[in-house]
Amino acid sequence: MSTLFTINTCKTFGCRNLGRPTSSDYSWPDYRLGYPALHCRACGSYPPLFDEQKYSEWLSAHLTSYAAERGLFCPVCYCKETICYGHNPQGTQRIQCRACKKVWTPKQQLRREMVSPERIETVSLIVPFQGNSAEQKLYVLLSFDATRGNILHLSTNFTQHQIGETLHYRWRGNIEPDLHHSDIVKRVDMRETQFLRRSQFDEIQYGSAVLKRNAKGAILRPVIAAHGHFRVLNILFPEVKTHVISHECFLRGATITAWAELFRQRQSELWFIEEDISDSDDNKPWSFQGTTYHGWWKNQWQLWIQEKNRKMVCSLAGGDNSNAQTLSLAASRLYIHWLYKQTTFTHSAQLSAGRVTQILHSLAQSYNYERTVTHSGD
């Protein structure tokens, strides 16, 4: 099995087994933490075990569907090296894979040249939809070119593909509270405590998400959606070396697994960011205030202040701490501010999960187009 489909693996930065699907150091299943886990004896970690066959089946269908829709890589072998291959009878551009010679017609005739970002910024968003009852929610992941500000990839945990029972999101009726403590340091600490209260680190309980009766599709566990999300990004941008993510532990695991080879070689950086921004137009320099340690792994966080603004920055993969001053979630903040002004988005609670997912993709295209037009006119 290609490492593209690896999910049961060590996810510890600095471990020789990071991202490796097999190792003599592995033993499983291990229930020492109360759930089935893979034990990596090299570093002592216990990443949760997943149904790898069901995950691989879903990911294969997900990648094939994404590639057939957009034409950014081959739907069979996932190679990015493609050529234009004439047109179909309707006059639509066909594409051929240079590696396996597959020919297909993308459903979306998008601009296919994608500029590789220097830094990818990823955040999550909870969006309402109309399901089996009121207050159903989708888990959304958004990744941006942190410098240019455009959306690179958007995913929700709604899937149109069949999935095994172990990949389904299970709502247990106890939503994790939103953390809005006025002290950003305490907020980081509270979120780490929240992770420890889960049945396993990746088992987020973000709210009920039940589709309408007889509706096609399914709602994925957010951790599975995250692994699929970053696998697409890794195919598109395999050489990106700096990743900034919002403070959620399974986003760390999904990111570090997707670019495991670069992280093993210590050629990549991965950062958590927590922000408290009162004035997004403030351009004054940030001032370093000190470090604190939080969570199960006792990660070191830096506190930075800029007038009324606060941010906490944590290096998860040996990054240069001198870079922390320039890191932020600014691209995502700008987009989310724009998103909440869009009428089609604000009416999402009246629409199905599949329709909300379609609208989010359409709005992302509109946003990227607006940014392209704006910058071309500068």
> What is the 3 state secondary structure string of 160-188?
CCCCCHHHECCCCCCCCCCCCCCCHHHHH
Estimate to the nearest angstrom the gap between the alpha carbon of 133 and the chain centroid: 27
According to DSSP, the β-strands at 158-159 and 26-30 are unpaired
pLDDT at 111: 53
Q: The whole model's pTM is what? A: 0.96
Q: What is the pLDDT of residues 246-273, one digit of tens each?
A: 999 999 999 999 999 999 999 999 999 9
pLDDT, averaged per 10 consecutive residues of the chain (378 residues), comes to: 87 96 97 96 97 97 96 95 90 93 87 82 97 94 97 98 95 88 93 93 95 94 98 97 97 97 96 96 95 93 97 93 94 98 95 97 95 69
Q: Does the N-terminal peptide bond of residue 89 adopt cis geometry, omega within 30 degrees of 0?
A: no
Which parts of 115-241 are beta strand (E)?
119-129, 136-145, 151-156, 158-159, 218-219
CA 136 to CA 170: how far, in whole Å? Answer: 13
Domain residue spans in the chain?
Answer: 1-49, 53-104, 119-374
Cβ-contact 49, 29 below 8 angstroms: yes
pLDDT at 114: 77
| Count of beta carbons in the 10 Å neighbourhood of residue 344 | 15
pLDDT at 373: 79
pLDDT at 22: 96
